[in-house]
Amino acid sequence: MRTLIKNGTIVTAIDQYSGDVLIEDEKIALIGSSLADIHADTVIDAAGKYVLPGGIDVHTHLDMPFGGTRSADDFESGTIAAAFGGTTSIVDFAIQYRGQTLHHAWETWMKKAEGKTAIDYGFHMIITELTDQVECEMDALVRQGVTSFKLFMAYRGIFMLDDGSIFRALLRTGQNGGTICMHAENGDVIDVLVQRALKAGHTAPKYHALTRPARAEAEATHRAIALAEMAEVPIYIVHLSAAEALEMVTEARDRGLPAYAETCPQYLFLSYDNYEEPGFDGAKYVMSPPLRDQAKQKELWRGLAFNDLQCISTDHCPFCMKEQKELGRGDFSKIPNGAPGIETRMSLVYDGGVRAGRISLNRFVELTSTSPAKIFGLFPRKGTIAPGADADIVVFDPNRTITLSAKTLHMKVDYNPYEGRQVTGAADTVLSRGRAVIAGGAFVGRKGGGSFLKRSTRA
Amino acid sequence: MRTLIKNGTIVTAIDQYSGDVLIEDEKIALIGSSLADIHADTVIDAAGKYVLPGGIDVHTHLDMPFGGTRSADDFESGTIAAAFGGTTSIVDFAIQYRGQTLHHAWETWMKKAEGKTAIDYGFHMIITELTDQVECEMDALVRQGVTSFKLFMAYRGIFMLDDGSIFRALLRTGQNGGTICMHAENGDVIDVLVQRALKAGHTAPKYHALTRPARAEAEATHRAIALAEMAEVPIYIVHLSAAEALEMVTEARDRGLPAYAETCPQYLFLSYDNYEEPGFDGAKYVMSPPLRDQAKQKELWRGLAFNDLQCISTDHCPFCMKEQKELGRGDFSKIPNGAPGIETRMSLVYDGGVRAGRISLNRFVELTSTSPAKIFGLFPRKGTIAPGADADIVVFDPNRTITLSAKTLHMKVDYNPYEGRQVTGAADTVLSRGRAVIAGGAFVGRKGGGSFLKRSTRA
Amino acid sequence: MRTLIKNGTIVTAIDQYSGDVLIEDEKIALIGSSLADIHADTVIDAAGKYVLPGGIDVHTHLDMPFGGTRSADDFESGTIAAAFGGTTSIVDFAIQYRGQTLHHAWETWMKKAEGKTAIDYGFHMIITELTDQVECEMDALVRQGVTSFKLFMAYRGIFMLDDGSIFRALLRTGQNGGTICMHAENGDVIDVLVQRALKAGHTAPKYHALTRPARAEAEATHRAIALAEMAEVPIYIVHLSAAEALEMVTEARDRGLPAYAETCPQYLFLSYDNYEEPGFDGAKYVMSPPLRDQAKQKELWRGLAFNDLQCISTDHCPFCMKEQKELGRGDFSKIPNGAPGIETRMSLVYDGGVRAGRISLNRFVELTSTSPAKIFGLFPRKGTIAPGADADIVVFDPNRTITLSAKTLHMKVDYNPYEGRQVTGAADTVLSRGRAVIAGGAFVGRKGGGSFLKRSTRA
Amino acid sequence: MRTLIKNGTIVTAIDQYSGDVLIEDEKIALIGSSLADIHADTVIDAAGKYVLPGGIDVHTHLDMPFGGTRSADDFESGTIAAAFGGTTSIVDFAIQYRGQTLHHAWETWMKKAEGKTAIDYGFHMIITELTDQVECEMDALVRQGVTSFKLFMAYRGIFMLDDGSIFRALLRTGQNGGTICMHAENGDVIDVLVQRALKAGHTAPKYHALTRPARAEAEATHRAIALAEMAEVPIYIVHLSAAEALEMVTEARDRGLPAYAETCPQYLFLSYDNYEEPGFDGAKYVMSPPLRDQAKQKELWRGLAFNDLQCISTDHCPFCMKEQKELGRGDFSKIPNGAPGIETRMSLVYDGGVRAGRISLNRFVELTSTSPAKIFGLFPRKGTIAPGADADIVVFDPNRTITLSAKTLHMKVDYNPYEGRQVTGAADTVLSRGRAVIAGGAFVGRKGGGSFLKRSTRA
C-alpha cells in the first residue's frame, strides 16, 4: 500500500522545500524533489499546500468525570474532532483517585479509549496520592510507555499533592526517566479567595478568574521549578496562562534549568474580558487557570517565539452550557472547569501566529508537533516528516478560510468559545499512519483506528 | 535624676557629631554641642567613644522548650548577656502550641519574663494553628502590643502552617496592622531529604546542612513574598541565610514590594566549613537555616549595604554541647537547633562590617537598632538618640579589642561558635532607660529592671 | 545671637520628634524636648509645623549662556526664588568651554555668583575637553572644594566627551576623591534622529521628545555605569527621567555597584502629554532628557522609595517663552533647553510624594537635603538638624496650600510649567546659617548673604 | 552524475534517522529509508557514521592584511583546511579602508578568492567609514548578495565607527534587509588601558587580555543591542567571548529583541590561563576579544544549549609565531591579533559539546550549519539535508579520535592553540555541491571548485 503526496511544500520544524513524499504502509519511505516516476496506489495532490507532520496535542481530557458529570467528548468524538483539526496524536490523562492504584487508573482509561479512537493516543498519569507503592508503580508505568505524570498544586483534598510528595515524585523520575507535568497554581490561596468571594455574595462566573490571581500561578510555577531543581530533573508546566508565570520559566532557563512549559490557544486568543460577557455566558470560559489580561498576551507570544514556551496544547475539556456549565449558576465554584479546543488549535495558531507574523511557519510545526513529540517520547516516530517516521501527515491549506462555530465543528459541545471567528489556514487531508482519516471535508477513518502510544523516556 | 554623657561622638542611623547628651529620668532631654554648664547627677565621659542608640535584637529564644530540653539562657541570663553586648531591647517569641490559644501562649511567656529581664523586652507570637478564633485573638494581641506574628513554612506537624493559613494570617494583618515574620524554608523538601539521609546512614552534623538546601530557603522566601503580595501586606523574612533567598527579596523590592528581611551574624562570619570540624563539633553550628558557603557571604554584605536586608538579629537560641547538643549524636536530626549570639552581635558586626569597610558606621546603627525599631513598632521610643526617646544608650569603644570565648562571655552555654576570635569594638557603658546596666565591665543593673514593650502597629 | 525655634516637629532623614532648637550664630547649638527656659534673641514658634533641614538643590543652571541667550535667573533672583521654596544651598555648574582651563571656568562662575546669592552655593565643574593639563586641574579643583565634575554623553561638538575621556576622568576621581556626574543620553543617536525629523519637516516642539528615546537614555546610563565599574569608582547620573534608565541603575545596585542617580520634579509631575499642548506651548517643556510617558512615573516613585534614586534636584534652567523659547519656532532643535523649578521643588515633592503616600516624611528630607549633602560633600555641615550643623532650617507648614503660578512665584521667567496647580505644604520661615532669609512671606535676607561652599571629597 | 550515500544516520538540526541520500549533480534529490535499488555512479557507505549538512563558518579572515603582514592562510589553503574539518561554506570579510568605496573593497576580495577556493564562499563587508555614498553602496551590495556588514566599536582611527554611524547603518539595513554584525568591545576604554599598561612597563602577551576587560565587551554588546532596538532591526554580535556579554544578549532576548550572537571554539576550550604560558607563548592566544576565565565557560555552554547563542564560528585569523606574532615581543599591542581555527571547529565542538553531554547532536548541527545558514541568507540552499538543497554533506565518524597538531593539520600556521589535544569525532568524506573534496584522508577537490555565494536578505 503506497500513497504519494505530490507537489506540496514540505515543512518541518526546520525545513521548508518543494517535494513529494512516498508512504509505504504506515511509514514515510521516501522524500524527493520529484517522485513523479514512482508508482503509488493513491496520489494526493498537495499543490499550493503545506505538507506538515500531524499535530500532537499533549493535553486533552476525553470522557473525564468531573463533579457528577463528565467531559462532553469521549475518545471517539474527541479524536474525530482532533483529526478534523489536523491533530493525529493526543496524550490524554488517566486519573488515579485516592485509594486506587495507578494500574487501576491506567486500565480504566485504556478501556475508555480502546476500540474508539480515530487517531493514536497515549496517556499521562495523574497522581493524587503518592504512597511508597505508588512510587513503585510509577516505574512500571514508565516501562509500559506511560512516561509522564501530572501532579496538582491546587484542589486540596481532591488532586493536590503536598510539596513533599511532589518532591518525591520528581526524585523518582530522576531514576526512571519519566517526566513530571505540573498544574501550577497555589490552590490554598485560591481556596481562601473563593470562600471569601462566595461569602461576599460574588457568585458570577467572572469571580472564577478574580479568585485565581496570576501571582498564584507564578508562585506555583516558581515553586515547581525549584522543587525540580533540587531533585535535579526536568519539569514541564502545563497550560501556562500568565505572563508572570512565564517570567519564572524564563528566569529558570536563563539559569540553565531544564524547565519547559506549554500554553494553550485560549490564553492567546481569549482574555479576561470574556468573563464580562452578559448573563451567564462567562461560564463558557471557566477553566483553570483562567483567562488573563489581553495586554499581556504579547508576553506569551514572545515566549513562544523565543522558546521559553515549547508547546501549544489545548487542555480540551468540554462541558455543555446546558446541564453542565449551568450547574454553577449562582455559584461560580460549581461551574465545571474546561472548554473545547481539540479541533481548533492548528487553525487558530496558524492564523493568529504565522499569518499574523508572530511566529514562523517552522516554529508553528515545532510548537504543535515536533516539540511535544520530543518532550513526551514520541520522536522520531511522530513529529516530523522524515523517512522511517509514522506517516501522520496533514495537507494544510494556508489559504482556506473557515468560520469557527459550534454548529460546524465536530466537538460534542453546545457552544464554541470562538463562535463566529474567521481563521485562515485549515487541514485538508489528514493521514494517520498512512491512512486517510480526513479527506474531502469528511471523516474517512474508522473508530478504533488509533493505537495506544507506548512512549519513550527522556533521552 | 540626670545623667550627662559628655564628649562623645553621637551616632545615629544618619548623623555623626561631637556632642553631649543629657538624660532626665528615663528619657533623653537635651542634646548639644556642649552641655558643660548643665548640672547632672551622673556624668559619663565618652571621649574617644561612640554614643549609640542601644542595640535592638528582634530575634531571640530565651527559656524556650525544644524537644524535651530548653534553650540554655532564661530571661535573666539572656538579657544580662545582651546588655553586656550593647543590646538594650529584645523581642522574643511566645509559642502557641496546637490546641492552645494565643492568649495562653502570651501569658506563659509573660510569666517567663516577668521580674527577670535586665533590659526591655517584647514578644512576637508564633502561630502554629490558625482557627477562626485564633484570627480574632490576633487582633487582640495587636492591641496589647504584640504586633508581629511568626509563621513557619517548615517543621510539618509541629510549627508548619499550610499556605492557606499563612495567606489568611497575612490578610488579617492587612486589617489589624500587624506584621508577619516568616521562617522561610520548604519544610517538606527538607523532611524528605532528612529521611533519605538518615536511611543512607548519613548521621553526622554536617548532614543537617546538606539536607537543607539554599534553594529550599529561596523557594520559601519567594513564596512567602508572593503570598504577601496577594494579600497586599508587607512581610518580614527572619534569619535569611542564603544568597539565593536574598535574590528573591531583592527582586521583590525591585518590583516595589514591601519585603523585608534580617540576617544574623552567624551567616556573615561562619560558614558550611564549620560543619566539617572534627568529631561532633559540627553540632555547635546546627541551626536552621544552616550555615552556607563562605563564597556567598559577600552577597549578604551587599544586601546589608544596599538595604535589601534591613536588620541584623541573632536568633539567639543556645544549647550546651553537654546534655543538649549531644542528644543528636548518631542522628543529626535530633541535635537541638540553635546557637548563642545575643551578646556578640554588636562587636562582630562592628568589627567585620564597619572596620572591614563593608558598611558605614551609620548603617551599623541602622541595622542593629534603628531599622528593627521602625519595623517592629518601637520607634521613635527606641532606635535613635533624640530628645524624647528612651535613654537606651551604649557608650561604645571602637578601639577596644576583646577575645570571644565561652569562658568570658555571659551567656549560659558551654561553648561559643566564635571561640578565640578577636574583635575590635565593644560596649563600655550601657544605659537602659537612663539607668546604667553595664559599667566598668560589670552588670550593674537589676533583675527585673526591664519592662514589657507594648509595640505599635505599622504606620 | 541666639534664635530659638519652639514647639515644632523636628524631622530629619531618620527622626521625627517634638522639640525645640537653639541656634547660636550660624550653628545649631542645642536640641531638646523643651528649651523654654533658655534665653534667645529671636523666637520662632513652629507649633503645628515641621522643622526641616534646609533643602539642597544640587542641579541648577543660573546665569548660564545658551545659544546666544542666557538662562533667565541669575545668582540673585535664582537663589531668592530657591529660598522662597525652602532651599538653602545650591550646587550650580561652571562650564569649561573648549580651549579653556578649568580654572578660568571656575573663576568666571565664582564672579557670576560673588556678592549676589541669598543662600550658600557651590559648583560642579563641567568638563568638555580633557587634556592632560585638565586632568591635573581636576585635582586642584577638588582641593578647592569643587569636588564633582559633570560630563556629557550627548551634544557632540559642544559638550560631549568620547568614552576614552570619560574613562580617564573617572579614573582620575578614583585618585582625587571627586565624583563624576553624568548627563546620560546617547547624543549620536539623538543627532541622527533630529536630523531626520527636521528633514521630514517635523519641527514642532514635541519632536524634541520624539527624537530623544528613553532607550537612548537607558543605553548611556548603562554605559556610564559600566565605565565607572571598570574605573572602580562611584558614578552619579543626573536628571534621570526614563524608567528604562532607572532599571540600569537598579541592576547595577543589585550587583553592589556604587551607582547613584537623581531625578527631578518635572519627571514626576509632568509627562510627554504636555508636549501635545496647543500651538507652541509644548516649548515650555523642552528640556533634556525630555518628559516621558505618564504611565512610567510610578517606576520613578518606586526608585525614590527604595533608594535606587537618591536625590531630587531641579535642573533649574529657565528660559522665557518670549524671546528665548520662541527662538525655536519652526525648528524644535533651536528651542533653548530647560525649565524653571528651583522654587517649586519642596512643595511639589511634599504634596505629590508625602501627602500622596508615595514616600515617607523622613524620605522626603533625605531626598531633598540629606542625601544630596552626603553625596556631594556637604554633610554633616548641611543636610541635617543636629548640634554643630549649619542652622539652615526650614519651618515648613504641611497644611498651607499654595497655587503655583508664574505671577506669584519669584523666578524670573514668564511662564510656569505647573501653572495653576495647587499644592499643599510650603516653607514659612527659612533660615540660612541662622539668619532668616524668608519670613512672613517675604525675602528678608540680603544679596550676597550666601557663601561659597568648599565641599569635601567622598569618604 | 549521481552519488548515493548509504546506510548512514542522517542528522539535521531537528531529525536523526537511518537512511540513504541520493545526490544528482549538485543537489540532494532523494532521501529514503533505503535507496538500495537506485543506480548511482558513486556509492559512499556511511554505516556507523553521521551524514551531516556541511559546516558553515561565517567568520573567517583569509588573506587579510594586518599591520604590514597578512593572515597566514589565503583562500586556497584556508578553504582546503576548512574542508578537512568538515566545513563546506565560509563567509569571509571584505574590508573597506577609509577613503575607499565598498565596491572597491568587494572587488578586491572577490579577486583574492577567485579561482582559489575549494568550497563555496561569501563575504560580509566591513565598513570603516559611513558616508552618504557608502550608505547607497550598502543597498547595491545587498542586491549583489553581500547581505551583511560588520562594524567595529573598537580600534579608534582604524576600524571604529562612532555610534551615529552605527545607528545609521542599522537604520539602512531596516530598509535593505541586510544584517549588521558587530565587533562589540568598548575600544576607547581599551585604548586607555593599553596606554597605561605600556606606560607601566606591562608588555607581556597576557596584558593583551588584562587591558580588554569582560565588562568592556558587555558594555558594547549592550550598546549595540540598544542601537539596534532603536533602529528596530536585528543585530548579530560576532565572537562573543564573555559571560557578561552573553548576559546582555539573554536579557535582550527575554525582552523579545532579535539579538543574535556567535561564539567561537577558543572561548569554549581555551582560557585566560593560556596567556600565562611561559615565555612569549601567550602570544599564540592573542586575539580580540581575548580568552576569558575558565570558570565562566559554562555560561557560554548554557547560552549555546538554550539558544541565546545561535552560531559557532571560528574567527579564523592565523598568524605564525615566527615573523608574525613575534612582531609584538616587548609590546603586546603589536602582536597580530588572531589564531587559527577553521579546520578544528567541528571536531572540537562535537567532542567537547556533544560527547561531553553539553549539547545534543541536533543542536551541534544547528550551531555549526543550520543557524548560520538561516541567519546569513544561505538557507535552504545550505544548512540542511533535504531534497533540493545543495549536496554539501559531511560523512562524520563519531568514533574516530584525532590528535590536533600544527604538524598534521592543514592550516598554514606554525603552531596550533590546541596542540596535542585529542578529540573524538571527525569528518571522513566531505562533499561540496555533490563532489567529493575530502575523501580517504586527502583533499580530492580542486582549487577554484568553490563558488561565490550570493546570499539572500532576511525574510
Select the residue of D167, D192, D219 nearest C223 (Cβ to Cβ): D219
Q: What is the Cα gyration radius of chain A?
A: 21
**Is residue B337 in a domain?**
yes
Chain C contact set for B261 (CB, 8 A): none
Over residues D236-243, mean pLDDT: 98
Q: Is-contact D431 D437, C-beta < 8 A?
A: yes
Residue B134 lies in a domain: yes
B345-383 pLDDT, tens digit per residue, is: 999 999 999 999 999 999 999 999 999 999 999 999 999
Give me the mean pLDDT over the A110-115 stretch: 97
Q: Find out whether D90 and D343 touch, Cβ atoms under 8 Å.
A: no
What phi and psi values does residue A4 have, to the nearest 5 degrees? -115, 125
Under a CB-based contact definition with an 8 Å cutoff, are residues D346 and D368 in contact?
A: yes
The pLDDT of D424-439, averaged and rounded, is 98
Cβ atoms of D209 and D291 within 8 Å: the answer is yes
CB contact at 8 A, A61 and A70:
no
Q: What is the mean pLDDT of residues A150-159?
A: 97
Q: How far is C387 from chain B (nearest CA, A)?
A: 5
A225 min Cα distance to partner chain B (Å): 9
Angle between helices D163-176 and C187-199 (to 10 degrees): 50
> Considering only CB atoms, which chain A residues are within 8 Å of B229?
215
| Strand bridging mode A442-443 / A435-439 | antiparallel
D74 domain-assigned: yes
The model's confidence at residue A335, banded by pLDDT at 50, 70 and 90, is: very high
Cis peptide before B53 (omega within 30 of 0): no
| A388, closest residue in chain D (CA to CA) | D33
3-state SS, B227-238, equals HHHHHCCCEEEC
Nearest CA in chain D to C162: D188
Q: What is the CA radius of gyration of chain B?
A: 21
- pLDDT reported for residue C341: 98
- In tens, the pLDDT along A346-384 reads 999 999 999 999 999 999 999 999 999 999 999 999 999
Domain that holds residue A236: 55-375
Interface mutation target, options C162, C165, C219, C233, chain D, most CBs of D under 10 Å: C219
A247's CB contacts (< 8 A; 6+ apart) are A218, A299
Tell me how far apart the terminal alpha carbons of chain D are, to the nearest angstrom. 33
Residue B125 has pLDDT above 90, yes or no: yes
User: A18 - beta bridge partners?
Assistant: A9
Q: Do chains C and B touch (3 or more CB pairs under 8 A)?
A: yes
CA distance A306 to A250: 10
Task: Please enumerate residues of B whose Cβ is less than 8 A from a Cβ of C.
Answer: 10, 12-19, 22, 27-33, 35, 250, 253-256, 298, 302, 305-308, 360, 366, 370, 380, 384, 386-389, 459
Are A209 and A185 a contacting pair, CB within 8 Å?
no
Report chain A residues whose CB lies below 8 A from the CB of D19: 386-388
- Separation between Cα atoms, residue A123 and residue A101, nearest integer Å: 15
In a domain, C341, yes or no: yes
What is the C-alpha to C-alpha distance for residues C309 and C315, in angstroms, rounded to an integer? 15
Pairing of strands A55-60, A87-95: parallel
What is the average pLDDT score of chain D?
97
| B186 to A171: CB separation less than 8 angstroms, yes or no | no
Taken in order A186, A191, A197, A201, is the CA torsion positive or negative? positive
Chains linked to D by 3 or more Cβ pairs within 8 Å: A, C
Per-residue pLDDT at C459: 65
Task: Give pLDDT tens digits for D131-156.
Answer: 999 999 999 999 999 999 999 999 99
**Helix H or strand E segment including B395:** strand B393-403
Peptide bond connecting D258 to the previous residue in cis, omega within 30 degrees of 0 = no
- Per-residue confidence (pLDDT) for residue A459, from 0 to 100: 65
Degrees to nearest 5, angle at CA B392 with B386 and B394? 100
User: What pLDDT digit, counting tens, does each position of C296-323 carry?
Assistant: 999 999 999 999 999 999 999 999 999 9
> Residues C367-378: what's their mean pLDDT?
98
- Chain C residues with CB within 8 Å of chain D CB: 156, 162-164, 167-168, 171, 186, 188-189, 191-192, 213, 215-216, 218-219, 222-223, 226-227, 229-230
In tens, the pLDDT along D357-411 reads 999 999 999 999 999 999 999 999 999 999 999 999 999 999 999 999 999 999 9
For C355-376, give one letter per residue: b (16+ CB within 10 A) or e: eeebbbbbbbbbbbbbbbbbbb
Q: Which residue of B has its CA nearest to C304?
A: B256
**Is the per-residue pLDDT at D442 higher than 70?**
yes
* pLDDT band at residue B68 using 50, 70 and 90 as cut-offs: confident
Question: With bands split at pLDDT 50, 70 and 90, how would you rate the model's confidence at D273?
Answer: very high
Q: Quote the percentage of chain C above a pLDDT of 70.
A: 100
pLDDT digits (tens, 9 = 90+) for A4-15: 999 999 999 999
Confidence of residue B459 (pLDDT cuts 50, 70, 90): low
Secondary structure letter of residue D109 according to DSSP: H
C-alpha to C-alpha distance for B115 and B374, rounded to whole angstroms: 26
C33 within domain boundaries:
no
B162, B192, B219 member nearest A223 (Cβ): B219
Contact residues, chain C, for D171 at CB < 8 Å: 192
- With a CB cutoff of 8 Å and minimum separation 6, the contacts of A401 are A422, A423, A424, A426
Q: What is the pLDDT of residues A233-279, one digit of tens each?
A: 999 999 999 999 999 999 999 999 999 999 999 999 999 999 999 99
Residue at D220 is within a domain: yes
CB D125 within 8 A of CB D178: no
Judge whether B386 lies within some domain.
no
Chain D residues inside the 8 Å CB shell of A380: 15-17
Residue labelled with grid coordinates 543597498: D139
pLDDT (mean) for C332-347 = 98
Cα–Cα distance, A136 to B149 (Å, whole number): 42
Domain assignment present for residue B393? The answer is no
Give the closest residue to B169 by CA, choosing from B211, B139, B195.
Answer: B139
Banded pLDDT at D283 (limits 50, 70, 90): very high
Q: What is the per-residue pLDDT for D68?
A: 84
What value does the mean pLDDT take over residues A139-160?
98
pLDDT of residue D458: 78
Checking if the pLDDT of D459 tops 80, the result is: no
User: d(Cα C231, Cα C172) in Å, to the nearest integer?
Assistant: 9
Option in D168, D192, D219 nearest C192 (CB): D168
Check CB contact under 8 Å for C226 and D213.
no
Alpha-carbon distance of B167 to B170, in angstroms, equals 5
**Residues A156 and A183 sit within 8 Å (Cβ to Cβ):** no
Mean pLDDT (whole number) for C82-93: 98
Q: What is the pTM of this model?
A: 0.97
State the Cα–Cα distance between residues C30 and C22, nearest whole angstrom: 5
* Among the listed residues A93, A92, A104, A164, the one whose alpha carbon sits nearest the alpha carbon of residue A134: A104
Widest Cα–Cα separation across chain B: 74
d(CA B72, CA B66): 11
3-state secondary structure (DSSP) of residue D55: strand
DSSP string, C150-162: EEESS-TTTTBPP
Q: Which of C24, C25, C33 to mutate to probe the B interface, most B CBs <10 Å?
A: C33
Cβ count within 10 A of residue D283: 26
Q: Do D219 and C226 touch (CB under 8 A)?
A: yes
Residue B36: pLDDT band with limits 50, 70, 90: confident
| Amino acid identity at B334 | K
Nearest C-alpha neighbor of C67 from the set C340, C331, C274, C454: C331
| Helix/strand/coil (H/E/C) assignment for every residue in D216-264 | HHHHHHHHHHHHHHHHCCCEEECCCCCHHHHHHHHHHHHCCCCEEEEEC
> What is the per-residue pLDDT for B350?
98
Give the residue among A142, A229, A223 at the shortest CA–CA distance from A458: A142
d(CA C361, CA C350): 8
Phi, psi angle pair for C48, to nearest 5°: 75, 5
| β-pairing verdict for A42-45 and A69-70 | unpaired
**What are the residue ranges of helices labelled H in B37-181?**
75-84, 102-113, 132-143, 163-176
B306 and C389: CB-CB below 8 Å?
no
**Chain B residues near any Cβ of chain A (below 8 Å):** 156, 162-164, 167-168, 171, 186, 188-189, 191-192, 213, 215-216, 218-219, 222-223, 226-227, 229-230
Give D10's contacts in chain A (Cβ within 8 Å): 386
Tens of pLDDT, residue by residue over D63-101, are: 999 888 899 999 999 999 999 999 999 999 999 999 999
Task: Please give the grid coordinates belonging to residue B406.
Answer: 565561652
Domain count, chain B: 1
| Proportion of chain B above pLDDT 90, given as a percent | 98
CATH code for the domain of A142: 3.20.20.140
Read off the pLDDT band of C36 (50, 70, 90). Answer: confident
Work out the end-to-end distance of chain C between its first and last CA atoms, rounded to an integer number of angstroms.
Answer: 33
DSSP-derived pairing of the beta strands C442-443 and D27-32: unpaired
Q: Quick one: cell of A72?
A: 462532553
User: Which amino acid makes up residue B332?
Assistant: F
How many Å apart are CA B116 and CA B110, to the nearest integer? 10
Specify the pLDDT at position B184: 98
